[in-house]
A and B are shown apart, each in its own frame.
Chain A
């Protein structure tokens, strides 16, 4: 009986030992489990954080890209704008240059016209302007004789002798220009010349002092290289209409007064001698 009890105790002891070992093992497993949970939590935290950082980086990269794209677009817009402005400035520069050249031509022409009080010199200057600045080959300057109401050529360039005829005021295109005081421009291509017609000029400009017509500049033919009239030519025609008239009128008056002065002086000298 004692033997059986001792055997039973031993079995209980063995069982308890196994149970304690099992308990220890379970405890160890629980600790291990705890540690693993902690590490898992740590990993989760790290991966969560690195995901946020990635998102942040991606987001900032996208923002940067958008900013650069916007900047690029702005720069392209500005570049196009500057290019347009540049083109505008270039065309304005060309316009200003052309205007400057036109003004220089007008200045030189009017300066020369008023540089003399000699009638023949004034005529020569008008011929030079019409030939060199406008590019006429055959043309004349006609003056009106108010006593006969007839126009006669006082200077000409390149014209044949058949053109040297007087024209009555109101007669033909030239007479009409002098009568009405309005410039005449023949219609059509100015270079289309099937023989020069002296009764039908290419251009006829009245020489006017205010509304008073004293003569006309008549162009029949242009130089071979002159293919069309430019805006500058019309400016010159307009300038010549007034300035050439004034220059011719004043130089004629001056010549007459010089002659009269000379005659009076001769009379005075004669009187002194007596």
Chain B
């Protein structure tokens, strides 16, 4: 069975738990949580991840900055990134995708939608 390592970057414990709950339904998944962008970068330097799921509005370092830093990092730039945020306007979506995010999900999230996006990315990588 393949193993998938997910990095969930979210300052809200409620959302972290909810996203983790959803991701754990994917067989072989392992979820690591980070509170903000800096915490995520620390975790990226010590472990390998298959997908990063990040919020935008976070203290210390926000999600857009994190996306930008990951995309400019030669080691991690290929990791797919999913933005999960309350910012649902079209311009926010375009900005997130332009920075290099692979998918953009507006809160409140539907578990089925989240899993569909993640499974699509997984199957795209394994194909």
Chain A residues with CB under 8 Å of B107's CB are: 131-132, 135, 223, 225
Kindly state whether residue B22 has any CB partner on chain A within 8 Å. Answer: yes
Chain A 124-147, CB-CB to B under 8 Å as 1, else 0, gives 010011011111010000000000
- Distance A129 CA – B127 CA, assembled complex (angstroms): 37
Query: Contact at A224–B108, with CB atoms within 8 Å?
Result: no
Kindly state whether residue B111 has any CB partner on chain A within 8 Å. Answer: yes
Kindly state whether residue B28 has any CB partner on chain A within 8 Å. Answer: no
Chain A residues with CB under 8 Å of B89's CB are: 224
Please tell me which stretch of B10-18, B37-45, B59-67, B71-79 contacts chain A, meaning at least 4 of its Cβ atoms lie within 8 angstroms of it: B10-18
**A66 → B minimal CB distance (Å):** 49
Interface size range of chain B in the complex: 10 to 19
Chain A residues with CB under 8 Å of B110's CB are: 101
Query: Contact at B112–A223, with CB atoms within 8 Å?
Result: no
Contact of B14 among A97, A101, A129 (CB under 8 A): A129
Interface size on A, residues (CB 8 A): 24
- Distance A170 CA – B21 CA, assembled complex (angstroms): 41
Chain A residues with CB under 8 Å of B15's CB are: 128, 132
User: Which B69-127 residues have a C-beta within 8 angstroms of A?
Assistant: 86, 88-89, 106-108, 110-112
Query: Contact at A101–B112, with CB atoms within 8 Å?
Result: yes
The 6 closest A-B CB pairs, nearest first, are A225-B88, A101-B111, A225-B106, A135-B108, A128-B12, A112-B14
* A residues with CB within 8 A of B: 97-98, 101, 104-105, 107-109, 111-112, 115, 125, 128-129, 131-135, 137, 223-226
